[in-house]
Chains A and B, each alone.
Chain A
């Protein structure tokens, strides 16, 4: 271990800032952009790419709503409709919902934690490039007319060779396995970053809830993604190599697919909402001018939700004829998982009630999120009862439920979070006027589209049907939902317009426009590449509010700290109490992640084309990239005696 006490503590001076600038700034131009490993740059790329997938999924949804607005329409053929609803689900759940939260976390974590970058910057870049290429891989199938069409849940036997012989399902399988690499790698990065690179004094009970949320989601992902990768890998083997994992005539089991898929699927849906709930837990109190009510129980409830979330997957399979005793266990667990969510809802409501709300756009998104969380939560609670689920499942009631939880608990906090952090990321404020229009259109459009869907489902409309007869009593409700969907789309469009305009002409943002308490607001907007001139020392959950809260006697130290300016360096701390532990040497910009991502994607294209030559070539290129990456040319850990103040 290094003699950490031997590192001098210095003031944050402009000279030091200039020196760090020279060390940390990425190259310019396209090459600089391609080789950058800066977490802020990668975070913004994730956010922009995820929004592109949100838009594409949204267009798919609008097309479907046109088809369903009236009975017996022929705007889409059944095959087209099936591809659309599959791609809508796949794009939104995999290529938007998790990456957007990864992107926001990527950007904001080191700033929240008082560090100079994530623990593994090159791994960060790799995770982004693989995500991008997997998305292109998937959408290339749409362009070629061979998009997957068996639903995002892809049940066998319908997804097996006998009933789906084209390459549609193969594209889906391989794209998702490729994305799984990105997700796993990213999750590992978050976990190690949290355990290792925090500012001194940021003990485990002083972490922002968003950090708890993303951490929990990352641990969940690491444990759950292997199940889905395995499921799709076995499916690919069944389809192309004649194995019989799911193939009934030869002893396979269709239910094996469902178990593997939902063993992943359920933790995944918690992974895509817990970080967003964390965003609200951190940003809502800022607009209520007080700290979060019940920090400890909210942090614990985040973890508890994910833990219980691993024990409820069979509630997606209640109709499959499993024995009652087994289903009862999962039914009870599905009821119990409401409890930690209720804790969070009460905490947020209490924070507002005991605070003094400022009605900014961000606050509106967060406050409405609470109501939609409750609506989505109770519709889920209803399906936890097995006999009731036998009526509700596979109807539009579930569609209403999933959109309340996905749009309500993911999209609304994301947009609110962007209204909150945009000044920090870009140095400009978003327009409050446009923001209010955006909020009301989005909120009204969303509720007009999806609140009636509960009723549509209670009136028996099944899911995944491309059309319906006029005598079922669903005509008006579908028309209302379609209209609402378009209003929602306009709201989202307005948000993008706001972003586009404000990037050019928004008001300049100061360091801390919202008077918020956490560390990211102590750096300029936008932050310099090195984040902090000196590594701060943290003494509470709200470093920037300490003077006014009077919580403890100690004070955080923001303008004096460790300089760590001998090349790219950041501080490593112990896991629980965040005592300084070592100096970490951070990597320079590198092309290796990009090349490795290209080679891995090439490998998967070769697997799709069943080309051995292509696969070997891709692996060779990948091997060279890995060699470059791991070549021990640079010292990653330097004893203290050689550094200077």
Chain B
């Protein structure tokens, strides 16, 4: 029986080791998951990642060593001369006490080292190494993000929702506020989590060093649709970012098609209570700013893609797609729905 268990033990142990390595490989692999953080793309996340890997490797080593030790302790060969019901001789040999002390001492050294490394990393990422290029003010609410690009000149301030762009290679400062409950801002590839707490303004910063699309997610339980409160950050070159920014500052142009014109009328009377479109009389602040809706890749904060019939489907019955969301089911007739969708499609 013991021999069989010994074999099982060795087998299981090897399986465990293999799965751990495979798992890590996949987490850090080439096709890194969108919200994974075992790959980093910015200087702040780099520092955090080094510490993460360090602690992860220490942890895995400790687990491997201790599991091996326990298995060895159970299965090591002992002389069988003693009878079944007898007791072991308990004179603790000096050697076992020394081994114990050695293990404890090693543990303490590792822990002290980790404390020091943690403090150093914490101090390093507290402030960006250069002055931030600009400040974002992000207000979390159930269940979307209002993102405002701040500036000294009021004419350069604009608002968008859920999706935002930053230039690569420069740090961005972010002020975090909440309109209702506690949320948490998290773009794993670029920065750790910072909570959005009503009644206070938390600050964080991030920097993207490679162009690309980075996913984020609200990371503090905030209600029924906490699952559908994502973020999309697009990092691009300085020129592309400038172009995008200028675009965002523009007002929506008059629609050309008659369908869209009718849609504008519907929008201003039925949707403007909650939504704003720069350049029209719609100035609602309860829902996301829709001025450049068609530049965003998703609707309902990452719940559905912004293409095809999704937009009409969302407007027709938001409660079906994101039950509990604050957007009510607005009773529009078929033509009104088509018209307003046509208008919204012109908002680039």
Taking Cβ atoms with an 8 Å cutoff, the residues of A that contact B are 77-79, 82, 150-151, 155, 157-158, 162-163, 248, 252-255, 288-291, 293-294, 319-321, 324, 327-328, 331-332, 335-336, 338-339, 342-343, 345-347, 349-350, 352-357, 359, 367, 370-371, 374-375, 378-379, 381-382, 384-391, 393-395, 451-452, 454-455, 458-469, 471-474, 515, 545, 548-549, 551
Contact = CB atoms under 8 A, between A and B. Distances in A.
The 5 closest A-B pairs by CB, nearest first: A390-B192, A460-B35, A473-B33, A465-B227, A321-B202
Contacts of B76: 353
A349 B122 contact: no
Contacts of A389: 192
Given A77-B323, A290-B90, A157 B111 contact: no
A458 B192 CA distance: 13
A248 B177 CA distance: 13
B30 interface: no
Contacts of A357: 73-74
Interface in B184-208: 184, 186, 188, 191-195, 197-200, 202-203
B309 to A, nearest CB: 18
A466 B193 CA distance: 20
B192 A353 contact: no
A293 B96 contact: yes
23 contacts: A158-B222, A252-B199, A290-B90, A319-B219, A324-B122, A349-B66, A350-B100, A356-B88, A367-B74, A378-B58, A378-B62, A378-B63, A382-B55, A382-B56, A384-B114, A384-B118, A385-B118, A388-B51, A389-B192, A390-B193, A455-B24, A458-B24, A460-B33
A465 B35 CA distance: 14
Interface string B110-122: 0110110111011
Contacts of B34: 460, 471-473
A454 B47 CA distance: 21
B333 interface: no
Contacts of B52: 382, 388, 391
A378 B65 CA distance: 12
B227 A78 contact: yes
B193 A386 contact: no
Nearest to A393: B193
Nearest to B111: A335
A473 B88 contact: no
B181 A394 contact: no
Contacts of A79: 224, 324
Interface of B: 1-2, 5, 16, 19, 23-24, 26-27, 31, 33-38, 47-48, 51-52, 55-56, 58-60, 62-63, 66-67, 69-70, 72-74, 76, 78, 82, 85-88, 90, 92, 96, 99-100, 103-104, 107-108, 111-112, 114-115, 117-119, 121-123, 125-126, 142, 176, 180-182, 184, 186, 188, 191-195, 197-200, 202-203, 217-227, 302, 323-324
Contacts of A350: 73, 96, 99-100
Contacts of A342: 103-104, 107
Given A253-B199, A321-B202, A391 B48 contact: yes
Contacts of B225: 78
Contact of B86 (A254, A289, A343, A464): A289
A327 to B, nearest CB: 8
A379 B59 contact: yes
**Max chain B Cβ within 10 angstroms of own Cβ: one of A158, A255, A395:** A158
Nearest to B192: A390
A356 B90 CA distance: 11
A374 B63 contact: yes
A305 B322 CA distance: 45
Contacts of B82: 356
Given A290-B90, A349-B70, A335 B224 contact: no
B23 A452 contact: yes
A451 B48 CA distance: 23
B227 A460 contact: no
Nearest to A327: B122
Interface centre among A289, A320, A331, by most chain B C-beta atoms within 10 angstroms, is A320
Contacts of A370: 66, 70
Contacts of B302: 469
Nearest to B302: A469
Contacts of B1: 359
A132 to B, nearest CB: 30
Contacts of B114: 335, 381, 384-385
Nearest to A354: B96
Contacts of B194: 319, 321, 390
A391 to B, nearest CB: 5
A349 B65 CA distance: 12
Nearest to A374: B66
